[in-house]
Chains A and B, each alone.
Chain A
């Protein structure tokens, strides 16, 4: 299988303001969000980044999608490096995170056309994709309703449709089912499987064990910015434990190492 995303020795730090230092109860002015992370994600698989809040999952995904820059290390998406080929990566990636919002004033229909133009998708292809994605997620009935008036679930569906306008080969979803009701969550997870079967490379981040067990082919467990485990999901079961137990063991191990 071809590695579509290659992350090598990725490190990202943030400077903490005095206020943030108080909140985090630390005297350190720099926080290491991602600490020498390396992993790969292949074509036709769903790779899950599992970790507690603040572990560095979202930061990693934001680095991959070129929203922020890594301090050191390299990331290649479909053979293009984040350091010099940001635009090439953005053309090939569909990124979805709660940080990215839609303008509430506009309708899904308007926004689809707008983002299609920014992605240089020709009008005919855009129209066909719009019909397909809006139909699949049931957005068509709300196509002319302002985003601000849509329910959270419908808004999330619109965001997914917009992230896939340009039919990207690599899909990066941060917490794909967060805030969704169970029916919408199922639509989303079913669609992720469908995309995987269509040969896309997919990375999701989550802290929900059941979601990883349900849809991921491989899992990377990230604690305190460090990748503690990165293997196929089948290996977890083969090691005679379950994902939840493995996760808590790794958190405990990291906590011991950290206090040393």
Chain B
């Protein structure tokens, strides 16, 4: 036990006392992700904010126009101050006869949106009255889709306003576009569950990759491993000490990356950090942490075994790369699946089980704790196997002293 702790402490000091390693293992991953994602977020929002969008409206009503316009102080013809509405989009009013022309322009991609209100909508409004509103846009044009989604929002609010006018009439406005009930939590969960598992396994792996080979293949190459091997400690203690310390360091590295993502979300997705965190309660976060810890053991175990097998740091890097790529491919599987897989045996497969369990937690799947339990048990068993293998390798002079 004492030897494990001594080796753990030395590996920890090797990183913590080296400013360059602290920078590259703990600070840079998070900082780089924050910068890259923030820049990406800015570029995306700049792109969408470039043009306000061109909208043509047949029979625009004052109540609707007010919704997408900003009230500012202006002057009336007598020079008296008055509230006027400044339009945020390039909106023009057209006649019913012109509508077809604009439909054609939208098809051709040189106009964004057409909204057709019935004549005298607000004047005719009475209980029992139903109005059809046509919303036409081009799904293949990003700008058109963006403008459409913004104006759909205005229309929803407008419908609400009209409802109030007719005292509780619920079907006063019929929109001719398909609208899906918008669920903030579900949408966020879906988005996080497709993106996050891949990012998490990638970060865990790259964290382990940045220190694992150095700690084993590097020590072998430089001859410092031999110094450790003639110490009166068990080879299994050396293996455990190294795997534990590398796991903690890799986890810190992954957390740094994770913080980078979380703090860049406001700029990337237009979401607040508190919004993201509010979806998940303490139990979810605890499950995630247990899951990540067990996964990092497997990854570090793999990296350690490959490093011990390699004759040099360079060879270790080359041999680990395919494993890293496989991990990314496994991570990507979460993007194409609807929720977590349900067969328990899938959770016995290292890496795949992490991705699926994480998906289950993020989607608030009620079976998530069970999936995590199986995953952690499987991961610990695999780690024990890898530590045993590493110990055997430390015993093998052919592997440890190969020239």
Q: Which residues on A are within 8 Å of B, measured CB to CB?
A: 65-69, 87-88, 90-91, 93, 95, 99-106, 110, 114-115, 117-120
Contacts of A66 in B (CB 8 A): 230
B111 to chain A, nearest CB (A): 65
How close is A97's CB to chain B, nearest CB, in angstroms?
Answer: 8
Interface centre among A67, A114, A118, A119 (most CB of B within 10 A): A118
Give Cα distance in the complex from A103 to B223, angstroms: 9
Complex A-B: 12 CB contacts under 8 Å: A65-B230, A67-B397, A87-B232, A90-B230, A95-B230, A99-B226, A101-B222, A101-B227, A102-B224, A103-B224, A105-B14, A120-B2
B267 is an interface residue with CB less than 8 A from chain A = no
| Distance, CA A178 to CA B355, complexed state (A) | 55
B129 an interface residue at 8 Å Cβ cutoff? no
Given contacts A115-B231, A118-B231, A118-B233, contact A100 B18 (CB under 8 A): no
Q: Is B73 an interface residue (CB 8 A)?
A: no
Is B139 part of the contact surface with A, judged by Cβ < 8 Å?
no
Contact B233 A68, beta carbon cutoff 8 Å? no
B3 touches A118 (CB 8 A): yes
Chain B hits for A90, CB < 8 A: 230-232
Interface residues of B in 188-239 (CB under 8 A from A): 219, 222-224, 226-234
- Chain A residues near B224 (CB-CB < 8 A): 100-103
Tell whether, in the assembled complex, residue B18 and residue A117 are in contact, meaning their CB atoms are under 8 Å apart.
no
A67 adjacent to B3 (CB under 8 Å): no
Beta-carbon contacts under 8 Å, B1-42 to A: 2-3, 6-7, 10, 13-14, 17-18
Binary A-proximity of B384-403 (CB < 8 A = 1, otherwise 0): 00000000000001000100
Query: What size tier do the contact residues of chain B reach?
Result: 20 to 34
Known A103-B14, A117-B3, A120-B2; further 16 A-B contacts with Cβ < 8 A = A67-B230, A67-B397, A67-B401, A68-B397, A87-B234, A90-B232, A95-B230, A99-B226, A100-B223, A100-B230, A102-B224, A103-B224, A105-B14, A106-B14, A117-B2, A119-B232
Which among B18, B219, B226, B230 has the greatest number of chain A C-beta atoms within 10 A? B230
Q: Which residues of B contact A (CB under 8 A)?
A: 2-3, 6-7, 10, 13-14, 17-18, 219, 222-224, 226-234, 397, 401
Which residues does chain B contribute within 8 Å of A118, judged by CB atoms? 3, 6-7, 228, 231-233
B6 touches A114 (CB 8 A): yes
Q: Which A residues touch B14, using CB under 8 A?
A: 103, 105-106
What distance in Å separates the Cβ of B374 from its nearest Cβ neighbour in chain A?
Answer: 38
Kindly provide the distance from the CB of B395 to the nearest chain A CB, expressed in whole angstroms.
9
Q: When chains A and B are docked, how far (Å) is the Cα of A69 from the Cα of B396?
A: 9
User: How distant is B234 from chain A, measured CB to nearest CB, in Å?
Assistant: 7
Identity of the chain B residue whose Cβ is nearest the Cβ of A120 in the assembled complex:
B2
A258 CB to nearest chain B CB (Å): 25
Complex contact B6–A67 (CB within 8 A): no
Which residues of chain A are near B3, meaning CB under 8 Å?
Answer: 117-118
> What's the Cα separation between A114 and B14 when bound, in Å?
12
Instruction: Give chain A residues whose Cβ lies under 8 Å from the Cβ of B401.
Output: 67-68
Q: List chain A residues, Cβ under 8 A from B17.
A: 105
The docked-state distance in angstroms from the alpha carbon of A105 to that of B13 is: 10
Taking the closest CB of chain A, its distance from the CB of B321, in whole angstroms, is: 25
Q: How close is B217's CB to chain A, nearest CB, in angstroms?
A: 14
Q: Which residues of A lie under 8 Å from residue B233 when comparing CB positions? A: 87, 118
| CA of A88 to CA of B397, assembled, Å | 19
A99 to B222, CA, bound (A): 9
Chain B proximity of A113: nearest CB distance (Å): 9
Nearest B residue (CB) for A115: B231
Closest 10 CB pairs of A and B: A101-B223, A90-B232, A91-B232, A100-B227, A118-B231, A117-B6, A68-B397, A87-B232, A103-B224, A101-B224
Chain A residue nearest to B223 (CB atoms) is: A101
The chain B residue sitting closest to A66, CB to CB, is B230
Bound-state Cα–Cα, A116 to B268, Å: 52
